[in-house]
Amino acid sequence: MNQFNWTYLADNGANHQVVLMHGATSGHLLVYCNTSIILIDFGVLETSSYSFFIEEELCELRIERQGDEFSYGFDVDREADTPLNKARKEKEKKHLYQSLFFMGGLMLLVSLVIVALTVYHKTQDQSKLLDQLLTSGQETSARIILATDSNEEAIKSFFFANGTSYSATTGLTEIPQTGPILLENGMPLENGDEFLVRYLPEAPQRNRIDFNSPTAKTLEKYQNRAIYQYSLKNPDLGPERVKCLVETAFSLRNIEAYALFYFSTTTPALNTDHNIDVFNRLYRDLPFQKAIAEKCQNL
């Protein structure tokens, strides 16, 4: 008589003892769980399998004949379409989603931390560079080259230091796909414009261009562009009076005056900072009216 014992641990923590007794010559089979008989069969002399439930779990018992010997196996069938297996798969799916959500959140958090650290270190590096440029940097002029092909870099700039050409760091991050590139001073950036650039003498590649500091040559270009644009819209005014108006406004508002005359007929929808409304406020301003009365009355 062959006898085998298995212990099945249910999901609720209960232990169940499964005992098999099989006559190797008669083939009589007896299986009981704990103290209850769950299976009786006779003449089992070939490979066979039996299924039965322990609580809600579907179990399978296998008898395999190998020559004159028998081997026995006991397994839990977790693939069969039973209510417990359905509930288990739903629970596993829920845990999977929870795990994926947790891992996704963790990865997002790690990514945010990495980005934050990168931005922090970059900011620190930039702050350190600016301090170095202010204390020990040298100054020269850099020229702007705007791309003529869509595949080219939008803005390039270069300057010379110690007889060698270097690229100037523009620091511009928001570059429109179409239309002019407007600087902080309000004027559009054009090809050939020049601005002051500070660089470290021992490392000229570490530099920063200052778009708020156009060279005298570029300031003259700004004035001519403002005069030209305003004259186009006001052909009845003579060139000398237009020039006087622009120069007078410049004495009061600096470079912003050039931008206001340049965009004197532009709608606020196209330019929120420099447009027809802002220009009219400048023109009606009492200090400006007083200044043009003194300087431009005979023009």
Tell me: the pLDDT tens digits for 154-204?
A: 788 999 998 899 998 877 766 777 778 899 999 999 999 999 999 999 999
- The pTM score is 0.58
Number of domains forming the structure of the chain = 4
Residue identified by tokens 């052909």 is: 235
Of 195, 196, 203, 194, the closest CA to residue 132 belongs to 203
- End residue of a domain, out of 95, 113, 129: 129
- End residue of a domain, out of 214, 234, 252: 214
What pLDDT score does 149 carry?
A: 67
pLDDT of 102 > 60? The answer is yes
What pLDDT score does 36 carry?
A: 92
What pLDDT score does 99 carry?
A: 87
Do 208 and 221 lie in a common domain? Answer: no
At 123, the pLDDT band (50, 70, 90 cuts) reads low
pLDDT of 275 > 90? The answer is yes
Q: What whole-number percentage of the chain has pLDDT above 70?
A: 95
**Dihedral of CA 143/146/152/155: which sign?**
positive
What pLDDT score does 281 carry?
A: 95
What pLDDT score does 179 carry?
A: 76
Do 209 and 223 lie in a common domain? Answer: no
pLDDT of 98 > 80? The answer is yes
Do 11 and 70 lie in a common domain? Answer: yes
What pLDDT score does 62 carry?
A: 95
Give the mean pLDDT of the chain.
90
Of 3, 42, 1, 38, the closest CA to residue 20 belongs to 3
Helices (H) and strands (E) in the chain, counts: 6, 12
Distances 75 to 6, 51, 53, 62, 155 between C-alpha atoms, Å:
10, 10, 12, 8, 71
Do 71 and 92 lie in a common domain? Answer: no
pLDDT tens-place string over residues 142-168: 999 987 766 556 788 999 998 899 998
Range of the domain at 277: 217-295
Do 32 and 73 lie in a common domain? Answer: yes
Measured CA to CA, the distance from residue 213 to residue 281 in angstroms comes to: 26
Of 214, 249, 252, 212, the closest CA to residue 230 belongs to 249
Do 221 and 185 lie in a common domain? Answer: no
Do 266 and 231 lie in a common domain? Answer: yes
**Contact, 209 vs 219, CB < 8 A?**
no
Q: Tell me, what CATH number does 23's domain have?
A: 2.40.128.180
- End residue of a domain, out of 214, 246, 277: 214
What pLDDT score does 12 carry?
A: 85
pLDDT of 226 > 90? The answer is yes
Do 248 and 200 lie in a common domain? Answer: no
